[in-house]
Each structure stands twice: as structure tokens, then as C-alpha cells.
Chain A
Amino acid sequence: MGRLCVICDKERAIIKRPKTGQKLCKECFYYVFETEIHNAIIDNKLFKKGDRIAIAASGGKDSTVLAHVMKLLNERYQYGLELFLLSVDEGITGYRDDSLETVKRNQQQYELPLKIISYSELYGWSMDQIVKEVGLKNNCTFCGVFRRQALDRGAVILNVDHIVTGHNADDIAETVLMNILRGDIARLQRCTEICTTGDGCIRRSKPFKYTYEKEIVMYAYFKKLDYFSTECIYSPNSYRGHARTFLKDLESVRPSAIIDIIHSGEAFEIKKEVKLPTQGVCKRCGYMSSNELCKACVLLEGLNRGLPK
């Protein structure tokens, strides 16, 4: 099967891009992959010169590639950003402790300062302790709510302007599907935005919004990037898992499905009469919240009181 790269017409193609069907050689693939991310950053004016940016780093494939690409683009295009790695230690033995070792290696490889912030120090509870208390049913809710806040609090400690996360096109399409299935209009509106800012809250963006997971994994493979890939021991059968399987099945029939779903999410318009919850702040901790108490404080109160067994 003789096939040359459609861009340089010299080297052997090694990847078929899911988004375009283009057959590319290794070097042209790297170039296209990195340039698309650069374009997403520039077109959406994600950063300004001098910004201090925390890269949310879990040690997994997406954040490992993100740290690599952010450092590379910052140097190549002279963004003038000061980059940091920010990791959350949920306190999950046999999972997060191992993946944090990967983050520590990344810190060395990329020479970026690293801050690790733990659930234990922030909330007084590790995920191991929470699971002991609540079992395996709603534990992912705790973890998700706590992580979001933990990143914001870590960002305050690092005194950064902005957090970037490794959410990719597949993740966003998945979230669009989940929000439609749950009828969560407020989140459906927000989940496709490449950059979000809450009141008095740190900006967050997703430079991989248009980047397919397949390309992230292929990039990490060819570049031999060091990442960690074990499923969290506490999430064997989450709702997201089903949405993911469905999305992957769609993608195998029609690769554009992922971008199409993101586009559908963006195209939904909410009638003016529909009342969306207004953002306020939590009375107890001051974090943004649409209720009197933020979700983390409600969950913590339950934990500290001892839930009915």
C-alpha cells in the first residue's frame, strides 16, 4: 500500500486524521497537530503576554500532551507565558499516588514548577476515606465537585491568571451528550465554550477543544511521551462511560460525529423566557454558587455530620 503524505508528498504516511481523512507523515502530522492548537489559542485570544498559566496535570495522556504542547508553543511563538503544573491529589491509593509520580517526572522533563494540592488538606477528607463513608455509588460526584474547587484554590495559591485543562474534542462531545440526556440547559450552554470565567473566579480554557483524542494518543505515542493510563479504581461504571462508548461507536461509523456534536451543542439556543439559575457566592466559603451553599460545602456538611447509613 504505497501512500505518501498528502502535505509534503515525500514521506510515507503514518496516520489517517479522523477529522479530515488526510493521510500524513510523522513530521507533517506533528506540524498540523501543533498548529491547530496554536490557531485555537490565537483565534480565541486565550492568553496575553505575561499571563501566569497553570496546566491542570493528572499524569494522564491529555494533560501530559497539553504540558508538552503548551511549553513548545510558548517557546515557538513567544507567547510570553509563565507556565506551572497544578495537580490535585484526591487521595486514592493505587491510582493517584502512581499517576502523581508521572506528574513529578513530567515536572523534570518539562522543567516547570509543580504544585500538588490535596483533598485532605483542603477538605479534611481523602477520597479513600470518603468511599469508606459513602460507598461506591455517589463517590464520583464528591470527587468531581471537590476537584473543580481544588484546582481553583491551587490556582490562587500559585497566583495564576488562568487554568488550562486537557479536555479534548471527544470529552466535550461526550459532555454535550450527557447534558442533553440530563436536560441540563445551563451546563449545555457552558460546556462548549473554549474559555469560561465565573465571577471573581479564575479563567479556564481548553486548548484541545478541537483536538481529537485519537490524535492526542498518536502524538503521545510517536513522541514517546511519558503518561499514566490506569482507570480510577472507584469509577467502574460511570454514566460518562456509557456516553463515551456511544460516542466511539458513532465515530467509528462517521469520524466527523465528534465535531458535529460539539457544533450541535453550540447551536442550541435558549428561549429568552427560560430562567437560568443566577450565579452567586457560597455563604460559607465564598466560592461561586447558584445556591446559598456551594455543592462542595453541602457535600462536606453531609460527610462531617455522618450520613445516614
Chain B
Amino acid sequence: MSLLKIKLSFSGGIELLFDNIKQKSVEIPSSINPPNSTTMKDLISWMKDNLLKERPELFMSGDTVRPGILVLINDSDWELEGELEYEIKDGDDIVFISTLHGG
């Protein structure tokens, strides 16, 4: 099975759940859930199992990210990209920003 190399970024306070790392390049299987291609939905649960350090309830709600966490795929609002159904491509740049922290 081939691997997809992608870049993940965390800001707005959500990095605290990921060992305080702001950016990380990771390799994920191109088909986490064979025979289907890896989607955002697969990625989010993969992140929970492989990267998340604490309090999963602050990152996820059901099978998606918790409301109030913004997601950008290649600098575009994921709501324009199909959200959970988006199929990850090699080289994708995915950003998670929490809006839940004080202003």
C-alpha cells in the first residue's frame, strides 16, 4: 500500500492537544479503510489514534472535529472541499484552528 505525505498544522490553541507541536509532516496510508481512498474522515480518526496526546473530546465529536474547530485544506475552507468526504492527496496541507480560545 502506498503512503501519502501530508503536512498538518495546528493553531489557535489546538496545538496543546498535540504535544504543543504547531506543524508536522506525516505519512499516512493512501487507503486507511480499503478499498476506499483515505478521506478527511479517516484522517481525523487516524490523528486521534496516532497523534492526539490528550482529551480526545476536545478534538472530536462523533466522527468529525468538534464544532468550533476550523479546518483548511490547501488554504481553503474545508466546507468548500467536501469536509469529511474529501479524499486526501499527496502533498496536501491541512490546517486545524481552534476558535474556542479566548479573544
CA gap between A245 and B69 in the complex, in Å: 11
CA gap between A251 and B72 in the complex, in Å: 18
- The answer to whether the Cβ of A61 comes within 8 Å of any Cβ in the partner chain is yes
Q: Which of A63, A218, A245 contacts B77 (CB 8 A)?
A: A218
* Minimum CB–CB distance for A185 against chain B, Å: 27
CB-CB under 8 A from A201, the residues of chain B are none
Q: Let me know if A217 and B99 touch, CB within 8 A.
A: yes
Q: Let me know if B80 and A248 touch, CB within 8 A.
A: no
A1/B68 contact (C-beta < 8 A), A14-B75, A229-B12 known: no
CA gap between A252 and B98 in the complex, in Å: 14
CB-CB under 8 A from B75, the residues of chain A are 14, 222
* Minimum CB–CB distance for A116 against chain B, Å: 18
In the complex, residue of chain B having the shortest beta-carbon distance to the beta carbon of A66: B103
In the complex, residue of chain A having the shortest beta-carbon distance to the beta carbon of B64: A252
A213/B99 contact (C-beta < 8 A), A13-B80, A14-B80, A248-B67 known: yes
CB-CB under 8 A from A13, the residues of chain B are 76, 80
Q: Let me know if A60 and B80 touch, CB within 8 A.
A: no
* Minimum CB–CB distance for A29 against chain B, Å: 10
Q: Let me know if B76 and A12 touch, CB within 8 A.
A: yes
Q: Let me know if B80 and A1 touch, CB within 8 A.
A: yes
0/1 interface trace, chain A 91-132, chain B, CB 8 Å (1 if under):
000000000000000000000000000000000000000000
CA gap between A60 and B13 in the complex, in Å: 11
Q: Let me know if B103 and A23 touch, CB within 8 A.
A: no
Q: Let me know if A63 and B103 touch, CB within 8 A.
A: yes
* Minimum CB–CB distance for A211 against chain B, Å: 11
Q: Let me know if B77 and A252 touch, CB within 8 A.
A: no
- The answer to whether the Cβ of B45 comes within 8 Å of any Cβ in the partner chain is no
CB-CB under 8 A from B35, the residues of chain A are none
0/1 interface trace, chain A 156-178, chain B, CB 8 Å (1 if under):
00000000001010110000000
- The answer to whether the Cβ of A58 comes within 8 Å of any Cβ in the partner chain is yes
Q: Let me know if B103 and A60 touch, CB within 8 A.
A: yes
CA gap between A206 and B85 in the complex, in Å: 38
* Minimum CB–CB distance for A209 against chain B, Å: 14
CB-CB under 8 A from B97, the residues of chain A are 217, 221
Q: Let me know if B103 and A166 touch, CB within 8 A.
A: yes
CB contact list, B64-89 vs A, under 8 A: 66-68, 70, 72, 75-77, 79-82
Q: Let me know if A229 and B98 touch, CB within 8 A.
A: yes
In the complex, residue of chain A having the shortest beta-carbon distance to the beta carbon of B69: A248
A14/B77 contact (C-beta < 8 A), A168-B103, A231-B101 known: yes
Q: Let me know if B82 and A248 touch, CB within 8 A.
A: no
CB-CB under 8 A from A3, the residues of chain B are 80
Q: Let me know if A23 and B80 touch, CB within 8 A.
A: yes
Name, among B12, B66, B80, B102, the residue most crowded by chain A CB atoms within 10 Å (CB to CB). Answer: B102
Q: Let me know if B76 and A14 touch, CB within 8 A.
A: yes
* Minimum CB–CB distance for B12 against chain A, Å: 5
CA gap between A62 and B97 in the complex, in Å: 14
CA gap between A62 and B12 in the complex, in Å: 12
CA gap between A185 and B87 in the complex, in Å: 49
- The answer to whether the Cβ of B51 comes within 8 Å of any Cβ in the partner chain is no
CA gap between A193 and B43 in the complex, in Å: 43
Q: Let me know if A244 and B72 touch, CB within 8 A.
A: no
Q: Let me know if B70 and A218 touch, CB within 8 A.
A: yes
- The answer to whether the Cβ of A203 comes within 8 Å of any Cβ in the partner chain is no
Name, among B70, B72, B103, the residue most crowded by chain A CB atoms within 10 Å (CB to CB). Answer: B103
Q: Which of B67, B76, B98 contacts A249 (CB 8 A)?
A: B67
Q: Give 7 closest A-B pairs by Cβ, nearest first.
A: A62-B103, A248-B67, A60-B103, A252-B67, A248-B68, A16-B79, A229-B13
